Structure 1
Amino acid sequence: MGYRFRYAVLLALVAPIPLNCSTALAAEQFEDRLLTTPATPEVIASGLEIDGYHLGISAYAWGYPLVRMERVVRDYTDVSGKVPATSYRGPLNQFGLATELATPSAKDMPTANNDTFYMSAVVALDQPYVLSAPDTADRYYVIDVFNMWQELEHYIGRRATGTKAGRFVIVPPGWKGDVPSDAIRLDVTTDKVWLWGRLRVAQGEPVEPLLALQKQFTLKPLDGKSGIKELPPLPSIAGDELGFLKHLGFALKDNAIKPADQALFAQFARMGLTKDGFDETKLSPEMRTGVIRAMADGPAMVVSSFASTSEVRNGWTWVTGLDSFGFNYPMRALVAGAYLGGNGEKEAMYPVRYTDADNQVLSGGNKYVLKMDEAPPVDAFWSLTMYNADDKMLVENPIQRYKVGTDTQGLKTAADGSMTIAIQNEKPQDAGVNWLPAPKGDFYLILRLYQPRDVVLDGTYKMPEVTRLK
């Protein structure tokens, strides 16, 4: 009986429900507007403009880092004019060395730090190049190896490879051969790379030994023979509404597209962007209108990626994942723009502050206090740096102080180890605080944490608040 009962229950469960059963479920009907949209001239014209806009936005976010890098490598190798001491420009395949810390007059790099001498080298890899680094006796330095998509492929320096003297061979894609046995091989994915270096300078220390140390960072072709002497100029795009796409098309001729990006890139052929360049004659008038609108809206879309991919801790905004952007093209573009050359979080963290504790924009018309219960937990050093909101440059001030940090001379610390930083335009009356001069207008702050400890990376460390004085 038990078997027959169970069999009967099973039949009842799997038996089909009669269509005429009063308990029958009616199939839900879904609206499908594509089936009812006519192919009228008006609809097609509207659709072409929308398609152009969609493609243009995607191409801008995806391709901006490549365009930015192709422009930058030409700027940073242009030594035809006078090169200021804060600049790191240098001839192709050679290091350019800044011999002074950045000041408000240093316009090459937005949000430049005031902690390190910068080093820069653009390398055209017609063959492997050997980078030789001296023993820095534990002095902090890092050289980031960026491909032409502004992606970090390798670190050389205190955290990653130590500070003993070493040799590193940068190997272009597809090269076959052996590197010296005493060197570390670093394979890269593009035929040009940007080496972006930082060498710590403590405030007030003699710079002559550091200048001599800088010169011991060298680049040489593996076979000892001089390679490519200069890069061809980018096409002129003055006054061209589609100039960005023309530069992107030009750059794509010499830079490989990742296999994972091939499907996305293939879509751009509909607006005339292929591996052969950009052909604007492929654009219908309607699609052209959409693409031009996309070029105008692209920057705002990229900047908005802050909201979806950043993390806010106690009012500070910071971005992780700079070592591997994955498919987050807008974030990659954002970093390639105003934050060009930023390290990944294990090397350095860059929390940014635009507002006070009441979520009001930071302005030199107000006075603020930032109190740290203790120095930030880092294995290298830290700094809090002030920038103008409009041009992203350091702030001119009467005491020429652009940051407060580990090496600030006369840094005032309370008996309990806490530090109070007065952030305002005018000199504070309280002699027990550390003054970080602000401009009269809007500004923002960056708290740089070099070699942050795990408590910073995992969010345990509580970021200091910025409070407006009433």
Structure 2
Amino acid sequence: MKYNLSFILVLLLAACNTTPKTGDNTKTGDSTKVGVDAHGWIGTATVKSRLGDFEFRNGYPTADAVKKLSDALVYSRAIEVYLDQMHAVSWYNVWKGVAAAGVATPNQVVIWETLMDSETLLLTGNTETVYGLSSFDLKRDGPVVVEVPAMMLGGISDMWQNEIAGIGPTGEDKGMGGKFLLLPPGYSGDLPKGYITLKCTTFKVSLGVRGFMQDGKPDKAVALMKTTKIYPLSAASNPLATTIVNGSGKEVSTIFSDNYHFFEDLAELITQEPDERLQTSERFLLASIGIEKGKSFQPDADRTALLEDAAKTASAVARVNSFASADTAKLVYNDRHWEFAFIGGSATWDTQGYVNTDRRAGFAYIAIGMSPAMVKKIVGGGSQYLWTPRDANGDFLDGAKNYVLHIPADIPVKNFWSVVVYDAQSRSMLRNGNLFPSLSQYTGPQGNSDGSIDVYFGPDEPKGKGKNWIKTVSGKGWFTIMRFYGPLEPFFDKTWKPDDIKEVK
């Protein structure tokens, strides 16, 4: 595991540039001097750093220095924990939001029957895809059966967004559908026959499925999803009917907090899930800020305030990591500002020989779904994503300004493409007064004479361009994702590429 030690060094070891207290009469090369000697050792001195000044006497910290430096260490570790465990807390919030939607029955599936819209608070959802989500609790219900129909697309994931099983032609069911049996961690009971058995790594598990529109309508995909059946194995002889909840037009909230509540969610998750799910080094960092399995997370007022501050700082760092990363591998093209959603081309973030937690956190702050299927190159199948928060000049996109995106002719997709606009604050679909802040081949945009398409963004509709316009909101930053479903070879070999988004004065 890769820790952001540079961050801790910046906070703490920058203090090595110490200043002797006035009147110390320190002499260069004098090994008996009271202040800092040639090795940089701290004697009786005031250590000055960006975190403040810390007093030492004869090499020992004063009581005030002990308090301030101890807090600094917890503060630094809390920031690292926030970034390192963000993908888990994010998915846990999706699990909770889906479980609490509608009538909140244990075996419900939330389906966005008339497509996902801006009422739903979900990280970078898509307006052109039919979504279905379900939350399972294997500690409460024991082994759970999930019956899926043939040609369903999706996956089953643990709380750290690791795929337990794929569903569909490249999944465990090979596109034929079947009965998945989800076993809790450590389960040792008898295994019945006739199931696709999955040994789950967490007690809380999520099912996510998606479907494509046919003839411009979601009806067939929705009907297919509604045939999904969910029930405990103990009730297999007489299962209750699966509850279907329509999520369209409803504020289903699934996004984690940027404040102290983040650590409350994390503590809940750690308490509920097996210790083995984390490395010992991860458990140490968590314990160092007060989150430990089997122990109540009840920090006092002082520690709560510190963690509140750390969460806000960490979320600020996360925004830099996502929107202004210095990682040069993020750029898709060397002459434009489009970025990869999965930097490094892996859903496990380990293409450099280690797990790059900065890249993982950069994704997790603005998106969900770390599925290998979302990265894999499948010409004419699967999906690919380009995104950008910047215009052609490299400036962040501003909801008060007008822009145009020129999309060249012959968009290389077998299925469909879409352009969706998101709120930089919530990272969900931009609430601009329209339910669908998007444009795609399904919406029938007007093409140019050469087959290319211009997409307009701005607070006011450009004259005669309404079918090609996505409304933005003054006072809100925004970013966009361009999706390619069934991408063709010109996408992969980059012989086709979209222009940058250009400001229109």
Tell me the TM-score range normalised by the shorter chain.
0.7 to 0.9
Q: Which residue of 2 aligns with 1:377?
A: 412
Query: Which residue identity does 1:305 align to in structure 2?
Result: N
Query: Which residue identity does 1:170 align to in structure 2?
Result: L
Q: How does 1:223-242 map to 2 (within 5 A)?
A: 223-225=234-236
State the Cα distance separating 1:273 from its structure 2 match: 2.6
Match of 2:129 among 91, 95, 116: 116
| 1:129 partnered with 2:135 | no
Match of 1:439 among 468, 472, 482: 472
Query: Which residue identity does 2:268 align to in structure 1?
Result: F
Q: How does 1:345-360 map to 2 (within 5 A)?
A: 345-346=375-376, 347-360=382-395
Secondary structure at the residue paired with 2:100?
Answer: coil
Q: Which residue of 2 aligns with 1:24?
A: none
Query: Which residue identity does 2:161 align to in structure 1?
Result: Q
Query: Which residue identity does 1:142 align to in structure 2?
Result: L
Q: How does 1:205-216 map to 2 (within 5 A)?
A: 205=217, 207-216=218-227
Distance 1:377 1:250, change over 3 A: same
Percent of aligned pairs sharing the same letter:
21
Using the size of structure 1 for normalisation, the TM-score is 0.74
Secondary structure at the residue paired with 1:277?
Answer: coil
Whether contact under 8 Å (1:52, 1:289) holds in the other structure is no
State the Cα distance separating 1:292 from its structure 2 match: 4.4
Query: Which residue identity does 2:315 align to in structure 1?
Result: P
**CA distance, structure 2, for counterparts of residue 360 and residue 272 of structure 1:** 40
Cα distance per residue 1:336-357 (max 9 Å; x no partner): 4442346532343332222211
Whether contact under 8 Å (2:184, 2:203) holds in the other structure is yes
Q: How does 1:15-54 map to 2 (within 5 A)?
A: 31-33=39-41, 38-41=59-62, 42-54=64-76
Distance 1:34 1:451, change over 3 A: farther
| 1:189 partnered with 2:222 | no
Q: How does 1:83-232 map to 2 (within 5 A)?
A: 83=102, 91-104=105-118, 106-125=119-138, 126-136=141-151, 142-158=153-169, 160=171, 163-176=175-188, 177-178=190-191, 180-181=193-194, 183-202=195-214, 204-205=216-217, 207-225=218-236
| 1:251 partnered with 2:269 | yes
Match of 1:303 among 307, 310, 319: 319
Secondary structure at the residue paired with 1:351?
Answer: strand
Q: How does 1:311-330 map to 2 (within 5 A)?
A: 311-313=330-332, 314-320=336-342, 323-325=347-349, 327-330=355-358
Q: Which residue of 2 aligns with 1:421?
A: 455
Query: Which residue identity does 1:130 align to in structure 2?
Result: V
Whether contact under 8 Å (1:130, 1:221) holds in the other structure is yes
Unaligned runs of 5+ in 2: 1-36, 45-55, 243-258, 377-381
**CA distance, structure 1, for counterparts of residue 305 and residue 177 of structure 2:** 56
Secondary structure at the residue paired with 2:207?
Answer: strand
**CA distance, structure 2, for counterparts of residue 108 and residue 203 of structure 1:** 27
Secondary structure at the residue paired with 1:132?
Answer: strand
**CA distance, structure 2, for counterparts of residue 288 and residue 121 of structure 1:** 33
State the Cα distance separating 1:242 from its structure 2 match: 5.1
Whether contact under 8 Å (1:203, 1:408) holds in the other structure is no
Distance 1:407 1:112, change over 3 A: same
Secondary structure at the residue paired with 1:363?
Answer: coil
Secondary structure at the residue paired with 2:468?
Answer: strand
Cα distance per residue 1:345-391 (max 9 Å; x no partner): 23433322222111233234433222222344345432111234444
- RMSD between aligned residues: 3.7
Rg: which structure is higher? 1
State the Cα distance separating 1:135 from its structure 2 match: 3.4
Cα distance per residue 1:56-110 (max 9 Å; x no partner): 112222333434444432322224xxx4xxxxx8522332222211233x23424
Unaligned runs of 5+ in 1: 1-28, 84-88, 230-240
